Amino acid sequence: METIVIALGGNAILRKGAKGTPEEQWETVRQATREIVRIAGNGARVVVTHGNGPQVGYLIEAFESLPPEKPRQSLDLAVAMTQGWLGYLIAHSIEREARSLKIEAKTAVIATRVMVSRRDPSFQNPSKYIGSYYTKEEAKRLAEKYGWVMKRDPRGMYRRVVPSPKPLMIHEADRVKKLVDEGYIVIAVGGGGIPVDEDMNPVEAVIDKDLASSLLARTIGADKLIILTDVKGVALNYGEPNMKWLSKVSVDELEEYYREGHFPPGSMGPKVLAAIEFVRATRGTASIGSLSEAYKVYKGESGTLIVPQSIKN
């Protein structure tokens, strides 16, 4: 039976311009999980991972609005909170969807810690977008008030960026594998995992969930990696008049495009890297596509499919 790791984009769950009410989140997650249940119902073992950029930023912004005497919680704790928050949304939606389709599905949400290095260069060059979108003037004010680093998001407007160190090892990978092998749908490495250093000290950062998902997929020996986001796939010259969507691409070709600079850090860059690392290591396939078309992406009918061999010859 094949094992598939499916990564859900945090920005696709809480879209730019959305209010972010509980009702809205249930609706978005329900659409995605309906497709995941179809994939699982097709006879695949499934691990679901998810991002948390908008959600972890929401928590940090909420902490800042507390009265001054209340302590602000650290970034690693905020990441842990989003694992519970989104883990519950996803697990509950999967079981509800399965129940309505009379399919057996049992979920397990794993609070996951991921090892990173204190010497990672990202501490000097933050790239992970979190939280709300601000105008240039607002961004400048927030940078002065809180010392936040602000950068322009590819969707437009400015957002806070935080360090996003490379995931090196997933502490709970063995437990994830056990549960998956027993037939549970496991939700793990939420928000890229809670960052801890080599000495098991908490680290204030947000790991990229695509890189963490790729590492998890390789560690548990998954056959496929599917990355779902808020665009229909990988494009060359993204946002330019000569933009071109890729439907099927070899890992060598994709690496060439990566070197040419088509995929920026903090958004499409880590997805493409995650896919390259997975396909190179396993000779399996990776897909990057739209969260709203998960089943079609799984079937290779939508999104970008990354294959080990060149398709030119």
Binding-site ranges for ligand ADP (CB under 6 A): 9-12, 51, 53, 154-155, 229-231, 234-235, 238, 262-264, 267-268
The CB-of-71 to ligand ADP minimum distance in angstroms stands at 29
How is the chain classified by DSSP, letter by letter? --EEEEEEPHHHHS-TT----HHHHHHHHHHHHHHHHHHHHTT-EEEEEE--HHHHHHHHHHHHTS-TTSPPPPHHHHHHHHHHHHHHHHHHHHHHHHHHTT----EEE---EEE--TT-GGGTS--EEEEEEE-HHHHHHHHHHH--EEEE-TTSSEEEEE--PPP-EETTHHHHHHHHHTT-EEE-SGGG-EEE-TTS-B------HHHHHHHHHHHTT-SEEEEEESSSS-EESTTSTT-EE-SEEEHHHHHHHHHTT-S-TTTHHHHHHHHHHHHHHHS-EEEEEEGGGHHHHHHTSSSEEEESS-S--
Nearer to ligand ADP, 95 or 266 (CB): 266
9, 53, 87, 128: the catalytic one is 128
Q: Which two tokens stand for residue 93?
A: 């939606």
The CB-of-181 to ligand ADP minimum distance in angstroms stands at 28
Q: Is 244 a catalytic residue?
A: no
209, 224, 269, 284: the catalytic one is 209
Find residue 234's DSSP bridge partners. none
Q: Is 10 a catalytic residue?
A: yes
Using CB atoms within 10 Å of the CB of residue 15, give its burial: 0 to 12 exposed, 13 to 18 middle, 19+ buried. middle
Nearer to ligand ADP, 24 or 197 (CB): 24
Nearer to ligand ADP, 63 or 238 (CB): 238
Q: Is 11 a catalytic residue?
A: yes
Nearer to ligand ADP, 170 or 288 (CB): 288
- Minimal CB distance to ligand ADP: which residue? 9
11, 51, 87, 233: the catalytic one is 11
The CB-of-301 to ligand ADP minimum distance in angstroms stands at 18
Q: Is 140 a catalytic residue?
A: no
Nearer to ligand ADP, 84 or 154 (CB): 154
Find residue 108's DSSP bridge partners. 186
Nearer to ligand ADP, 93 or 267 (CB): 267
The CB-of-15 to ligand ADP minimum distance in angstroms stands at 9
The CB-of-104 to ligand ADP minimum distance in angstroms stands at 29
166, 177, 224, 271: the catalytic one is 271
The CB-of-12 to ligand ADP minimum distance in angstroms stands at 5
Query: Active-site residues: which are they?
Result: 10-11, 128, 209, 271
